[in-house]
Structure 1
Amino acid sequence: MTVKVVVVDDHGAIRAGLRLILENAEGIEVVGEAGDGITAIRQVRALRPHVALMDVRMPGMDGITATRELVAEGQCDVLVLTTFDLDEYVYGALRAGAAGFLLKSVEAPRLIEAVKLVAAGEGVLAPQVTRKLITAFAQTRGESALSPTALHELTDRERDVLACLGTGLSNAQIATRLHIGETTVKTHVSRVLRKLNLRSRVQAAILAQENGLAHDERRGVGNRGAGPPDQQ
């Protein structure tokens, strides 16, 4: 599959640089560009890309607002790419439903990999951002935990998948860990997001961390054994 991307940044030189990097990568096609959030939404609606590579600070509508609208409409996945790792940007982007958050200092190979991962339904976070989130978990543990009722909405297998998301595993790694098919993993992830009213697997990972499920998964509590994929 060729991953179609819309590049969103208010600086033309940066858009040109990102286009050059992405179009030189196998399996990626830049189908459009935008210099602000409103134009980005218009471009995405018209061009139907798999991924919007989204800046945060732009004139008019900012990237976080645009991300929230695109995700709410189910238009595409959003990978936020910004110069700043400020808490308000990190948390704002993830609350808006961004599938990933990278800094513009990222190396070209990592950026290419991240675009492909997001298009495949994975989540991507810059190491600097991951450390911020871990610190935030330690400071706010229990303050925003899911209610028991919400967790009870999940089946045992969906809890297993949520726990794996909390440790940062990809779909392929979850499939291996739980001895189920990768397609089945994608189905479970979709159900977890729907039942918990979440917009992205990154949000699911945060909730898994906040509720201690990731810790349980590391100890092996999440792995309930295996059966054929069609029985999971």
Structure 2
Amino acid sequence: MLVDDHEVVRQGLRRVLENEGGFKVVGEAKNGLEAVKQALSLLPDVIVMDLHMPQMDGIQATREIKKKLPDVAVLALTMYADDLLPEGVDAGIGGFMLKDGDSHQIAQAIQQIHQGINPVSPALNKKLLTEYYRLHKQNSLALTNRQKEILKLVCEGFAITAICHQLCISLSTQKREMREIYNKLGVNSRAHACSIAIKAGIIKIVHD
């Protein structure tokens, strides 16, 4: 789903994605309020979100959408380097790209965010994100060992029932611990929690 207050931008993005192939644009919105309504109706996999729009900006729209659709991936498009990066990550935005960037890179970023990767335009100031993740690492010190065990299994792709079986805990305990993890890390989705945990070094995933 494409969200931008300029129709020419939405049309341009649609053409880029159609030319790339492998994408289906299920809807468009010209402001944050429309974005929330459309997202709840269309249930998109990925939302490409402008940050500065009338009535409701992209940050607030993302917050509202993630409350109802925590697993939807949101990719922010911005005109400015360092534009609202920490606020955007707090809201649940999973990636940031510049509007004037290469069209192929934007299409690639959409694919990446759908796969759980957090794309960031090379032109954006990654120091801000690094500092943000450092602060989250400090907050992670409050995680209990059990919560870290659960989070590690979540990030490794284990299903809820498998986590309960492996750790010998009940479903209600697992859900309670996940709520605590979300609160302590300041996130609202599994993907966001894993992104923070891995990038901040809270947990380490070993690939065979």
Which TM-score bucket, shorter chain as reference?
0.7 to 0.9
* TM-score with structure 1 setting the length: 0.67
| AA partner of residue 138 (structure 2) | A
Conserved in 1, the CA contact under 8 Å of 2:86 and 2:129?
Answer: no
| SS of aligned partner of 2:47 | strand
Distance 1:91 1:185, change over 3 A: farther
Q: Which whole-Å deviations, capped at 9, do the CAs of 1:9-46 have from their partners, x for residues lacking one?
A: 11111111011101222220112111100011111122
Change (3 A) 1:143 1:122: closer
Q: Tell me: CA distance 1:147–1:48, structure 2 relative to 1, closer, same or farther (3 Å).
A: closer
Give the secondary structure class of the aligned counterpart of 1:31. coil
Matches within 5 A, 1:42-121: 42-74=37-69, 76-87=72-83, 89-121=84-116
Q: Percent identity?
A: 31
The change in CA–CA distance for 1:193 and 1:74 in structure 2 (over 3 A counts) is: farther
- Residue in structure 2 matched with residue 153 of structure 1 by the alignment: 146
The change in CA–CA distance for 1:157 and 1:193 in structure 2 (over 3 A counts) is: closer
Deviations 1:205-227 (A, max 9, x none): 445555x537xx4xxxx64x97x
CA contact (8 A) 2:82 2:125 kept: no
The number of residue pairs the alignment matches comes to 189
Structure 2 runs not aligned, ≥5 long: 164-174
Normalised by the size of structure 2, how large is the TM-score? 0.73
Structure 1 position 64, deviation (Å): 0.4
In the superposition, relative to structure 1, how do residues 143 and 81 fare at CA in structure 2: closer, same or farther (>3 Å)?
A: closer
Q: Which deviations, in whole Å up to 9, do the C-alpha atoms of 1:130-176 show, x marking residues without a partner?
A: 62235525xx95687125442423354744876xxxxxxxxxxxx7x
Decide whether the 8 Å contact of 2:32 with 2:53 is kept in 1: yes
Give the structure 2 partner of residue 196 of structure 1.
Answer: 181
Kept in 2: contact 1:114–1:124 (CA 8 A): yes
Q: Secondary structure at the match of 1:127?
A: coil
Unaligned runs of 5+ in 1: 1-5, 163-174, 176-182, 227-232
Cα RMSD (Å) of the superposition? 3.4
For 2:143, what is the secondary structure of its paired residue?
helix
